[in-house]
Amino acid sequence: MMKIVETKVLRGPNYWSNFRKKLIVMKLDIGALEEQPTNKIPGFPERLKAMFPSMQSHRCSKTHEGGFFERVDEGTWMGHVIEHIALEIQTLAGMDVGFGRTRGTGQKGVYNVVFSYMEEKVGLFAAKASVAIAEALIAGNNYDLASDISRMREIRESVRFGPSTGSLVDEAIARDIPYIRLNKESLVQLGYGKNQVRFRATMTDRTSSIAVDLASNKEETKRMLEEAAIPVAKGMCIVSEEEIKEVIDTVKFPLVFKPLDGNHGKGASINVKTEEEALRAFHHAKKYSRKIIVERFITGYDFRVLVINHKFIAAALREPAHVTGDGLSSIGKLIEEENMDPRRGYGHENVLTEISIDKETHDQLAKYNYTLETILPKGEKCYLKGTANLSTGGTSTDVTDIVHPHNIFICERISRVIGLDICGIDIMAQNLSEPLEQTGGVVLEVNAAPGFRMHLAPANGLPRNVAAPVLDMLYPPGKNCRIPIIAITGTNGKTTTTRLIAHIVKNTGHRVGYTTSDGIYVQNSMLTKGDTTGPLSAEFILKDPTVEFAVLETARGGILRSGLGFGRCDVAVITNIQEDHMGLSDINTLKDMTNVKAVVAKSVKRDGTVVLNADNEYCASIAKMVECHVAYFSMNENNPIIQQHCKKGGLAAIYENGFITIKKGEWKFRVEKAHNIPLTFGGRVSFMIANVLAATLASYAYGFTIDDIKSNLETFIPSAAQTPGRMNIFEFKEHKVLIDFAHNPDGFKGIKEFLSTIESPYKIGIITGTGDRRDSDIREMGRISAEMFDHIIIRQDKFLRGRQAEDIVRLLVEGIMEYDKNKSYEYIPKEVEALKHALSLAKPGAFITALSDVIDNAIQVVQSYQEKERALAV
């Protein structure tokens, strides 16, 4: 029995592919099947081919058709087979997806099965179904594949964009305009930040609400058109049964009944010829509106004209769902045959929609005294619906090229009279190739949010890309759809670098939004508190219409869990790549971690820049993976990578002779002395100097001037408010307290280096281990602590992350004892109590260091002690 261990949905550039954003990653334990490749399972290849003959097109690594079946015959593992099943069942359900790969996790029998999807919920269904199908094929059991295919189609129709919304999104993608779906329906944001626009179906944020109200009120629309000398159908508005007789006498048969506030043909009845029919039509319309419009039924053809931005775009002849008799078959049989047309499908999956048999069908047939069993005479056309909606099986024929210029003039004028930016005009006329006044044609309705499907995929005639003029209107030439994005990732230093870059951006006149491990900010305001370094936090900033520039801290966890929250960035910074979070999410080596961090680097646009740490070999290796400009920073101006890079005219930032220096080719531009930059603590903290180099280089690469960068480096003051948990030093009368977020061996080494510059007779350290780190990492943190502290207080982490507290303490103690068996230490589980105890131990000149994962608590405790000391001094 196989087991799905975990399923992830990736929605942006990711570890598996920067180009294929929509992927399912299913972690699958195939159990005993690890010892049974496909050629060792009797009858399996034959049963697989019988169920999926269309898999013959799967090439796999063989690069030719039938290649996958060859792999099955030769013997491949079940995870690989399930990948192909997941892809094929989606394709059979009408969603043609083709990317997949299966890789081992390093754990025997456990694989990551990766495959693309079009609709997220369908992809998740396919993941489970593919495993169930494989198990049935292994056992030789029957499986209802048709039921799964049908279910996937139903899921797709319930969650996908409609044809109109989908066409606008597709056109945006084709123009490299990013989009964000804002709800489960059709509300969509195009672009980012201050450059965003929104639309819902075919209403945009430019659509006038007054115009929509007018179009929704058919009586008011008709009055305005009539006053503007536009031909409309004769009619009147009624609210009660008693008025039916009057309207019949006034307007005369045949009539059309439709709800005043209706749309998409709901509640409408046409060609009403008797009082009995009129009564039924009245009550049908009454379901949708209190007031009913009754008009003279104009004989002719039903046309829809589309006007966008007050310009004629397309026209279509619409016809309700119908069948044509052959003199032999019943109407029911003719409907079955019509639905076999390959152009017809479920919902919106094909050009035409299947014709459903419902109450409206029976009512329509009853008008002719027909039933589904009636044999329709040869050549007779029988209409099955009262309106020509494509969603109920209607058809459309493009007539754009034959519309008379006078009719185009009328329609463009109508769009301005009503005030709609996207306008669907319903016309009843013998044709549109002659002026309406000559043919007796009339305007029936003006529609806000008109459907595009009849123009995008007509049953007959030329398809029209009607989404293009909408995008032309929303993003005319010269209007940008994006905002600048600088993304920061790495093992350590991400948050400080992010905050420093955001400080530079903000003080150069941009409204900046940024994400960090302690919260989401716009300008100086924290909007959300917590670790906000994942894709949802990035999207939060990109959805904010006030943000002009985004600076996004981007952590490993979010990349692996969901991918990036943005498609591409202008500048990416990789601070460093160290051994942290190893063994999690199947990332077992530094090479694996490099590939994770490289996702951010690969997302940089071609003319953008990735900033890499030349002192870190794994970080520097990313240069070979990207197609953008590369810039390096280093604490050593003689770093061979820097020297070689700059000889070729490359861009770098170096620390030389105490200066933060930009190097462009062989030219040096000194920005500022590190001693004068508060964040470096007088030039004593080397890892902070590295952060300053990274931020300086990223800012310069984006386009900020050296003068702007210099002034902002001088005004960025490390503090509990500006950089919470990043080298926060609190001074007391006789001792000092340092609070820092260091949580891995490399972070501890940075603190150790700083403490080596501190003269203190008694250094106290408060430490903990993180439960999801390797044993060796936790021991190493204990060993480094023993090197830098005279006395160690071990506390318990707030989140144990899968371990027992005793286990973490044991590993830390083992590390301490490795360095010095006589080292003084004690265990106080609660962080606040541990910090208070450390303060009680403080001697004159003592230096207390709290390496904390709950920064706010530690800062509050220390600040409260400071306030008490100040109060006593008064």
Q: Please report which confidence band the pLDDT of residue 88 belongs to, taking 50, 70 and 90 as the band edges.
A: very high
Q: Give the model confidence (pLDDT) of 736-753 as tens digits.
A: 999 998 888 888 998 999
Condensed to tens digits (0 to 9), the pLDDT of residues 122-136 reads 999 999 999 999 999
Encode pLDDT of 401-449 as tens digits: 999 999 999 999 999 999 999 999 999 999 999 999 999 999 999 999 9
Mean pLDDT along residues 559-568: 95
| Alpha carbons 488 and 477: distance in angstroms, whole number | 31
SS3 state of residue 840: helix
Q: Where are the alpha helices (DSSP H) in 703-848?
A: 706-715, 745-755, 775-788, 805-819, 831-841
- Cα-Cα-Cα-Cα dihedral of 493, 710, 626, 584, to 10°? 10
CB neighbour burial string for 687-714, b if at least 16 within 10 angstroms, e if fewer: bbbbbbbbbbbbbbbbebeeebbbebbe
Q: How confident is the model at residue 270 (pLDDT cuts 50, 70, 90)?
A: confident
Mean pLDDT of 804-833: 90
Q: What is the pLDDT of residue 63?
A: 83
Comparing 859 with 132, the larger pLDDT belongs to 132
| Terminal-to-terminal C-alpha distance of the chain | 74
Note whether 385 and 320 are within 8 A (CB): yes
Residue 856 pLDDT grade (very low, low, confident, very high; cuts 50, 70, 90): low
pLDDT of residue 855: 62
C-alpha neighbours within 13 Å on the C-beta side of residue 705: 6
| Highest-confidence segment of 291-305, 350-364, 622-636, 854-868 | 622-636
| Cβ neighbour number for residue 835 with a 10 Å cutoff | 25
Inter-residue contact 609 to 571 (CB < 8 Å):
yes
pTM: 0.86
The percentage of residues in the chain with a pLDDT greater than 90, rounded to a whole number, is 77
Q: Percentage of residues in the chain with pLDDT exceeding 70?
A: 99
> Residue 263 pLDDT more than 70?
no
- Examine the pLDDT at 627 and tell me if it is beyond 90: yes
Determine contact, residues 625/601, Cβ cutoff 8 Å: yes
Half-sphere exposure of 149 toward its Cβ, with a 13 Å CA cutoff? Answer: 16
- What is the bridge-based pairing of β-strands 519-522 and 569-574? unpaired
Q: Which two tokens stand for residue 859?
A: 């800062």
pLDDT, position 187 = 97
Of 506, 454, 144, 112, residue with least CA distance to 317? 454
The pLDDT value recorded for residue 279 is: 93
**Region 611-627: what's the mean pLDDT?**
97
Position 225 confidence tier, pLDDT thresholds 50, 70, 90 = very high
Whether 264 has a pLDDT exceeding 80, the answer reads no
Higher pLDDT: 293 or 467? It is 467
Residue 401 makes CB contacts below 8 A (sequence gap 6+) with: 462
Q: Strand 100-104: give its sheet, edge to edge.
A: 3-10, 23-29, 110-116, 100-104
- Candidate from 164-168, 207-211, 392-396 with smallest mean pLDDT: 392-396
Q: How far apart, in whole angstroms, are the C-alpha atoms of residue 25 and residue 101?
A: 10
3-class DSSP state for residue 52?
coil
Main-chain dihedrals φ then ψ at residue 42, nearest 5 degrees: -55, 125
Q: Is the pLDDT of residue 343 over 70?
A: yes
DSSP letter for each residue of 561-616: HH--SSS-EEEEEE----S-STTBTTB-SHHHHHHHHHHHHHTEEEEEEEEEETTS
- Phi/psi at 252 (nearest 5 deg)? 75, 145
Per-residue pLDDT band at 853 (split at 50, 70, 90): low
Tell me which residue has tokens 């008064």.
874
pLDDT of residue 695: 98
CA distance readout (Å), 498 to 361, 515, 555, 645, 870: 63, 8, 12, 25, 34
Task: For residues 600-608, give the mean pLDDT.
Answer: 97
Length of the chain: 874
pLDDT higher than threshold 70 for residue 84: yes
pLDDT band at 390 (very low <50, low <70, confident <90, very high): confident
Residue 802 has pLDDT above 90, yes or no: no
The set of residues, in sequence order, having a beta carbon less than 8 Å from that of 517 and lying 6+ positions away, is 494, 495, 531, 532, 533, 553, 555, 741
Mean pLDDT of 554-567: 95
Scan for tokens 């870190």, then name that residue.
616
